[in-house]
Chains A and B, each alone.
Chain A
Amino acid sequence: MADTPKVNLTIEGRPISVPPGTNLIEAAKQAGVLIPHYCYHPGLPVAGVCRMCLVEVEKAPKLAPACATAVAEGQVVHVHSEKARDARKGVLEMLLINHPLDCPICDQSGECELQDYTYQEGRADSRYREPKRFNPVEDFGGDVLYVPNRCILCTRCVRFMGDVAHDEVLNVSERGDRAFIGKFEGKDLTHAWAANVVDLCPVGALLSKDFLNKARAWELDRTASVCTGCSQGCNIIVETRDNVVMRFRPRSNESVNQFFMCDEGRLGYREFNRPTRLEVPSILGPKGHEAVDWDVALEAAARLLRGKRAYVVASPDTSNETLHLLGRLMRKSNGVGLYRVPQGPEAPLPGAPDLALRVDRAANGRGAEALGFTRSDTPFSGLKAGDALILVDQDVTGADLAAVGQASAVIVLASWMPAGLPRAEVVLPIATTVEEEGTLTNLRGRVQRFMQAKAAPGLARPSWFVASDLLGATGESAAYFTAGDVFAAMSAAHEAFAGLSYDTLGMRGLPIAGAMAGATA
């Protein structure tokens, strides 16, 4: 809203103009200044209770809580003045008097805001000489464990469950220094989005049981990605250690998932660690599958495709780039492309706009559709005798095997051998979503990039790379060196993707042409 008059103020000597109503924490962020805070979170109603964000505002009689103070014209704000720093030092000392200081055994260590701010501006010692408060650890149900001794009562978790999840199962119980986060006996954190309280907790009080004691925060490599659990396309961070995915966490994107991701998506990381990966290309020989060089395998596949109608059944988690290249293969042979979308019950997050675990449990159905693929619950039913079947990360469990058997050949591009497949002439091992780069188009038509978080095993190659090589082996021109090159070719070829590029998409994505006007997701 460019025509709304802006408010001009100065924060730490930096002039800045922001829309009226902006609070000082957000205004400071835009000025490149971090105001320390605990209870404030942009996705939750303001509580103003931790008192960590106290700043000095010139002409104000008292220090102001930056979270609950709106910008005003001509305001001069000092975040790091002596008065403000002393106040925050006081808060930090108070927060630590009853804290067990058990960082060496705490999962939050390394990504703990209590550690960070104490290191940054807290006291070097404690003057507390009294016995500490002690409360036992409590299983909150779902994936959440509560360690009350580390709790700073910021109430982010209570506000999330009440105001965002609309499932008020947490409370603040008791008062004074006896207060703790309470949960009613028998009512657990079973809401489909409950595990967000673990991310929201700025300290080590709410922990993921799944991640408990598994890794230290500083051992993890973090990569921006997109969740493939459903068609919502929540932005995530893939966290890996030693080439193993340790956890998924939400990455904020106001247009898609705010700051959150659902529990099902969160635990979806396990899929990517499944063993028995396809690591080398192979072809079916007289003595069964034989490992071969990529060139040999690709040529064998091209030979099998020659003169045949390509019948492609691709997983709807496959990237836009790979689907685009497979689409070329289809069209070259007057073939067809199909995809089947697994489904599950929808689970909305009521306090966030247009955010839900969607019925369609696939990340790129919308992209597949835009790229000429057809959705079908029985994708093999149209297979005609003599068609060359190309399976892309698609199992055939429950499919009509007789129909599959009519194929002249079966070429598999997959990370794991498709379950239930009676035979495959050529198997081409591809990387998973967390091992390659690409884009996905969510249910509202938003095209979003995902990055490579870990190395693919053995000789497995990115799916777009394999698809372009396969296209090349059939005599087509398909010399792409990066996923971005493929994307550029796709946006030139498909009206829906026209004008988009990796650069313009950035890390938050853009809607495809013709996506619902004003769509928020």
Chain B
Amino acid sequence: MGYPHKPHPRETVVLSEHFGAAEARSLDGWKTRGGYQALQQALGMEPTAIQQVVKDSGLRGRGGAGFPTGLKWSFMKLGDGKPHYLCCNADESEPGTFKDREIMRWTPHALIEGCAIGAYAIGAEDCYIYIRGEFTEPLEVMERACAEARAAGVTGPNAMGSGKTVNVWVHKGAGAYICGEETALMNSLEGKRGNPRIKPPFPAVAGLFGMPTTINNVETLAAVPHILNKGAEWYKKLSRPDNPKSTGTKLWSVCGNITRPGNYEVQMGFPFGEFLQDLCGGAPNGRKIKAVIPGGSSVPIITWEEAESALMDYEGMVAANTMLGSAGCIVIDDAQSMPKVIARLARFYAHESCAQCTQCREGTAWTTKILERIVAGDGTAEDFDTLLSIADNMTGKTICVLSDSCATPVVSGLQRWKHEFEALITRTTIHAVPALVG
């Protein structure tokens, strides 16, 4: 069982080892648990050597895209005379995902240490941890830990006596899902609307304040001290040897219709069916799991049959017709109405669209209106074609993937549970609503 429960014997506890231990939150508490040894070591290394260790470990981004972390760091041109920045993406807003929240609540210094190592490894003196505004407790914990680390000389000018400057700052968001998109996050940090930017230029060339920038997820950075302490080989051996592309452990947030919701840390490639049934206890109240959204609400919804045999790593989830994403696993049991679940997800995206791209601004709202009309019993058969056509218009055509993310549950849901939608159709035609003119 994962946090808030005691770990299940089949978990591989690395990042979550100290979840729930209040004393691990303090600088001293963290140091007695081996904290900041990795930073001490890193500050004596060449940045490129740190990059190499992380590359060798196979660590991939835990925010959703799964990009190799060491490779991302190596895109930063060291010694170019420009200020470099590290942004830690702690805007955790993907429905179903709540793992970074626990890392920040319980092991703030693990994150600060990872941030400091990461910043140093990319030639940055400043790291901003962008935390969503709703995370009041993690914000408080992180602020306190940052101040503590700075006061103790762990971070700041002359970090750990190394003569190097590594500042770690907390920046509070103000309510916008899209700020978890890396370029939107940078805009938000700059005091702008959280609008995603057109790429290129990529952040490593022109990112925060127009300078070379790397953005890493909380979980990614929190894993870095462990990798430096115990080595790349150790990290790779945590996961199943049959898939060298997904290494180490992964935190999974499990929620929805599940007996034991919470955060679980398992090796990459853990069997999904066993995970959901044995570790998480399956659906509550004797019901059956009908659908699973394994990687946060933006990935395709799959059936229990598809999920049951899947492996919990980047490749395994693709093989199961979905994606690992942020590993925010939403479980839906057979008492739920899929059209209703999907309509509510669409509404989320319509609420969060930044309003830049036409297809997203209009398409998310239009999709929501149609789905809500269907759920209300006012749908028609032609709505299905329209929904799929809108989804097509919303896919692969916008600056960021919020639009695609709204289309994904609609398409995957209609493919698998069309009968549930059809059951809601009671009429053959719809009365066109007269347009308001003015």
Is A–B contact present in the complex under a CB 8 A cutoff?
yes
The bracket for how many chain B residues form the interface is 35 or more
11 other A-B residue contacts (CB within 8 Å) besides A62-B397, A129-B370: A49-B358, A49-B399, A51-B358, A97-B366, A102-B437, A134-B438, A136-B438, A152-B358, A177-B364, A177-B365, A178-B355
Which of A87-95, A257-265, A385-393 lies at the binding interface? A87-95
Q: Does A164 contact B (CB under 8 A)?
A: no
Contact partners of A50 in chain B: CB under 8 A: 357-358
Interface 0/1 of A60-86, CB less than 8 Å to B: 001101001000000000000000000
A95 pairs with B358, CB closer than 8 A: yes
Once the chains are docked, how many angstroms separate the CA of A68 from the CA of B365? 26
Once the chains are docked, how many angstroms separate the CA of A519 from the CA of B432? 60
Which of A168-176, A281-289, A416-424 lies at the binding interface? A168-176
Closest to A129 in B: B430
Given contacts A94-B393, A130-B369, A153-B361, contact A177 B350 (CB under 8 A): yes
Once the chains are docked, how many angstroms separate the CA of A30 from the CA of B82? 37
A87 pairs with B361, CB closer than 8 A: no
A134 pairs with B436, CB closer than 8 A: yes
Give min CB distance, A59 to chain B, whole Å. 16
B354 pairs with A175, CB closer than 8 A: yes
Within B382-438, the residues touching A (CB, 8 Å) are 382, 386, 389, 392-393, 396-399, 430, 432-433, 435-438
Which of B354, B366, B392 touches A130 (beta carbons < 8 Å)?
B366
A94 pairs with B433, CB closer than 8 A: no
Give min CB distance, B412 to chain A, whole Å. 20
Given contacts A65-B198, A130-B373, A149-B438, contact A172 B362 (CB under 8 A): no
Contact partners of B430 in chain A: CB under 8 A: 129
State the interface size on chain A (CB cutoff 8 A): 42
Contact partners of A91 in chain B: CB under 8 A: 358-359, 393
Closest to A91 in B: B358
Once the chains are docked, how many angstroms separate the CA of A50 from the CA of B359? 8
Which of B350, B359, B393 touches A176 (beta carbons < 8 Å)?
B350
Which of A63, A129, A177 touches B355 (beta carbons < 8 Å)?
A177
Given contacts A48-B198, A63-B396, A172-B193, contact A127 B359 (CB under 8 A): no
Give min CB distance, B235 to chain A, whole Å. 32
Contact partners of B370 in chain A: CB under 8 A: 129-130
Contact partners of B436 in chain A: CB under 8 A: 100, 131-132, 134, 149
Which of A47, A62, A132, A176 touches B353 (beta carbons < 8 Å)?
A176
B397 pairs with A87, CB closer than 8 A: yes
B359 pairs with A175, CB closer than 8 A: no
A51 pairs with B357, CB closer than 8 A: yes
Residues of B within 8 A of A (CB): 176, 193, 198, 350-359, 361-366, 369-370, 373, 382, 386, 389, 392-393, 396-399, 430, 432-433, 435-438
B198 pairs with A46, CB closer than 8 A: yes
13 contacts between A and B (CB under 8 A): A49-B357, A68-B198, A91-B358, A94-B359, A94-B362, A94-B366, A97-B366, A129-B433, A149-B438, A172-B193, A175-B355, A176-B353, A177-B362
Give min CB distance, A65 to chain B, whole Å. 7
Within A92-108, the residues touching B (CB, 8 Å) are 93-95, 97-98, 100-102
Contact partners of B386 in chain A: CB under 8 A: 127
Contact partners of A357 in chain B: CB under 8 A: none
Give min CB distance, B199 to chain A, whole Å. 9
Q: Does A16 contact B (CB under 8 A)?
A: no
Which of A63, A132, A137 touches B397 (beta carbons < 8 Å)?
A63
Once the chains are docked, how many angstroms separate the CA of A129 from the CA of B376? 15
A132 pairs with B366, CB closer than 8 A: no
Q: Does A25 contact B (CB under 8 A)?
A: no
Give min CB distance, A105 to chain B, whole Å. 8
Once the chains are docked, how many angstroms separate the CA of A47 from the CA of B354? 14
Give min CB distance, A131 to chain B, whole Å. 5
Closest to B350 in A: A176
Q: Does A54 contact B (CB under 8 A)?
A: yes
Once the chains are docked, how many angstroms separate the CA of A24 from the CA of B362? 26
Within A151-203, the residues touching B (CB, 8 Å) are 152-153, 172, 174-179
Once the chains are docked, how many angstroms separate the CA of A424 from the CA of B202? 73
Closest to A99 in B: B435
Give min CB distance, B351 to chain A, whole Å. 6
Contact partners of B389 in chain A: CB under 8 A: 90, 127
Instruction: Report the 9 A-B pairs with minimum CB-CB distance, sorted nearest first.
Output: A90-B393, A179-B355, A177-B365, A94-B362, A176-B353, A130-B369, A49-B356, A48-B198, A175-B355
Give min CB distance, B6 to chain A, whole Å. 42
Contact partners of A175 in chain B: CB under 8 A: 176, 193, 352-355
Closest to B394 in A: A90
Within A462-493, the residues touching B (CB, 8 Å) are none
Q: Does A52 contact B (CB under 8 A)?
A: yes
Once the chains are docked, how many angstroms separate the CA of A49 from the CA of B360? 10
A50, A51, A152, A177 interface centre (most CB from chain B within 10 Å): A177
B433 pairs with A130, CB closer than 8 A: yes
Given contacts A97-B366, A100-B438, contact A90 B359 (CB under 8 A): yes
B352 pairs with A90, CB closer than 8 A: no
Q: Does A211 contact B (CB under 8 A)?
A: no
Once the chains are docked, how many angstroms separate the CA of A366 from the CA of B171? 57
Contact partners of B396 in chain A: CB under 8 A: 62-63
Contact partners of B193 in chain A: CB under 8 A: 172, 175
Within A491-505, the residues touching B (CB, 8 Å) are none
Which of B355, B361, B397 touches A54 (beta carbons < 8 Å)?
B397
Given contacts A54-B397, A153-B355, contact A95 B438 (CB under 8 A): no
Once the chains are docked, how many angstroms separate the CA of A87 from the CA of B403? 14
B355 pairs with A174, CB closer than 8 A: yes
Contact partners of A177 in chain B: CB under 8 A: 350, 353, 355, 361-362, 364-365
B362 pairs with A52, CB closer than 8 A: no
Within A125-156, the residues touching B (CB, 8 Å) are 127-132, 134, 136-137, 149, 152-153
Within A22-58, the residues touching B (CB, 8 Å) are 46-52, 54
Closest to B176 in A: A175
Closest to B385 in A: A127
A51, A98, A136, A179 interface centre (most CB from chain B within 10 Å): A51
Given contacts A51-B398, A175-B353, contact A100 B359 (CB under 8 A): no
B352 pairs with A176, CB closer than 8 A: yes
B399 pairs with A48, CB closer than 8 A: yes
Contact partners of A49 in chain B: CB under 8 A: 356-358, 399
Contact partners of B392 in chain A: CB under 8 A: 90
Once the chains are docked, how many angstroms separate the CA of A63 from the CA of B393? 12
Once the chains are docked, how many angstroms separate the CA of A128 from the CA of B358? 15
A101, A174, A175 interface centre (most CB from chain B within 10 Å): A175
Give min CB distance, B259 to chain A, whole Å. 36
Give min CB distance, A373 to chain B, whole Å. 51
Closest to B351 in A: A176
Once the chains are docked, how many angstroms separate the CA of A179 from the CA of B364? 13
A51 pairs with B369, CB closer than 8 A: no
Once the chains are docked, how many angstroms separate the CA of A339 from the CA of B94? 71
Contact partners of A131 in chain B: CB under 8 A: 433, 436
Give min CB distance, B308 to chain A, whole Å. 32
Contact partners of B358 in chain A: CB under 8 A: 49-52, 91, 94-95, 152-153
Contact partners of B354 in chain A: CB under 8 A: 175-176
Once the chains are docked, how many angstroms separate the CA of A97 from the CA of B436? 12
Give min CB distance, A316 to chain B, whole Å. 46
Contact partners of B397 in chain A: CB under 8 A: 51, 54, 62-63, 87, 90
Given contacts A54-B397, A62-B397, A63-B397, contact A176 B437 (CB under 8 A): no
Contact partners of B438 in chain A: CB under 8 A: 100, 102, 134, 136-137, 149
Contact partners of B399 in chain A: CB under 8 A: 48-49
Once the chains are docked, how many angstroms separate the CA of A93 from the CA of B394? 12
Contact partners of A51 in chain B: CB under 8 A: 357-359, 397-398
Contact partners of B433 in chain A: CB under 8 A: 129-132
B362 pairs with A95, CB closer than 8 A: yes
Contact partners of A178 in chain B: CB under 8 A: 355
Once the chains are docked, how many angstroms separate the CA of A127 from the CA of B420? 23
Give min CB distance, A38 to chain B, whole Å. 8
